[in-house]
Structure 1
């Protein structure tokens, strides 16, 4: 038996393919942008919203984002975080006991906040139960620089068709914008709206869960 029969080195074509595959994998690793999951502060229904927390979160995000009204955007991995008084609700149909949100509980790297804005069924009409939180949100926006831009995002659960939910989420985002403009005098040019429909459910939540029916806000 010759010694060459014990040689385990890949043959030339196999080695070439191996090196090519390795090179492509390394290139992909270096060239693919690293997408970081963002942190979203999630308020339960009935919780008090601290305007200073709002200003801290919406004023913190300095990333460049698309500001086209109702423009679709690429999906972004999202991490929903909770604190003692800023927590993810199991459902938005059962009011929680009010609790004051201390701004030292808000993560420093949070980039958006979410409110369980209640609307009339199958409608863009904002129900009175949502107004207290929206009013506090407006007070927080007023603490920001006058030229700051806020994006209002509408989200739905998965009940209904994708097309219907997309349109509903856009309408609800616009309804929140109009509320902030008409009731609180915030310049409409500062409020951009976008609807995501059912495409961005809360992490680990049932797509049909009520918690997915929400409105999120982020600053630029």
Structure 2
């Protein structure tokens, strides 16, 4: 009976805790590389299904606690796939990444980043008027976790504000989130410049 209960607890924990995220395909542009608005619309225009958690009865509290402990142990860092060159097939790409340049230790967007953001805005305008785009801020691992998290959030908001103010995109269509250093590019040094990026995905 004890063996049965422990097996059941493990099975429920596995069901409640999502597996470590599989590295996703991300189209990654390099600094100065021309962004194709059609590619932007293709990647961000995909619809993703949403499963409502309220559709199922809640599990017992002790299993929720066990699941929370397991999740804390397994979800420290989520990998992002190695860079995928733009211009190829974007059929299974989940996001698009730009190396948006900011002033050092700041949320001020540098002029060098504007051409890519302008082309990105043209791609967003090709989407339906009710489409939602999530702007994700990411940093490298230099600095504390808390500092990098706040910096990534501020930079995501700065990009949103640029798209709204310079391109007239409705702010309600742009969600922002910061991940700090928590989602480095797979196989990259955590301190590498490639991790300092802004990603965009459809919602």
TM tier relative to shorter chain: 0.7 to 0.9
- CA distance in 1: counterparts of 2:26 and 2:161, whole angstroms: 23
The partner residue of 1:62 within 48, 56, 62 is 48
Shift in alpha-carbon separation, 1:107–1:170, aligned structure 2, 3 A: same
Q: Contact (CA 8 Å) 1:159, 1:208: kept in 2 or not?
A: yes
Q: TM-score, normalised by structure 2?
A: 0.77
- CA distance in 2: counterparts of 1:80 and 1:54, whole angstroms: 18
Q: Gaps (5+ residues) in structure 1?
A: 1-15, 66-73, 87-100
> How many aligned residue pairs are there?
179
> Does the alignment pair 1:139 with 2:122?
yes
Residue 49 of structure 1: how far off its partner (Å): 1.1
Q: TM-score, normalised by structure 1?
A: 0.72
Shift in alpha-carbon separation, 1:48–1:159, aligned structure 2, 3 A: same
Q: Gaps (5+ residues) in structure 2?
A: 52-74
> Does the alignment pair 1:50 with 2:40?
no
RMSD: 2.5
Q: Contact (CA 8 Å) 1:170, 1:196: kept in 2 or not?
A: yes
Greater radius of gyration (CA): 1
Q: Contact (CA 8 Å) 2:78, 2:182: kept in 1 or not?
A: no
Structure 1 segments of 4+ aligned residues over 3 angstroms from their partners: 16-36, 74-79
- CA distance in 1: counterparts of 2:111 and 2:5, whole angstroms: 62
What is the aligned partner in structure 1 of residue 59 from structure 2? none
SS at match of 1:174: helix
SS at match of 1:110: coil
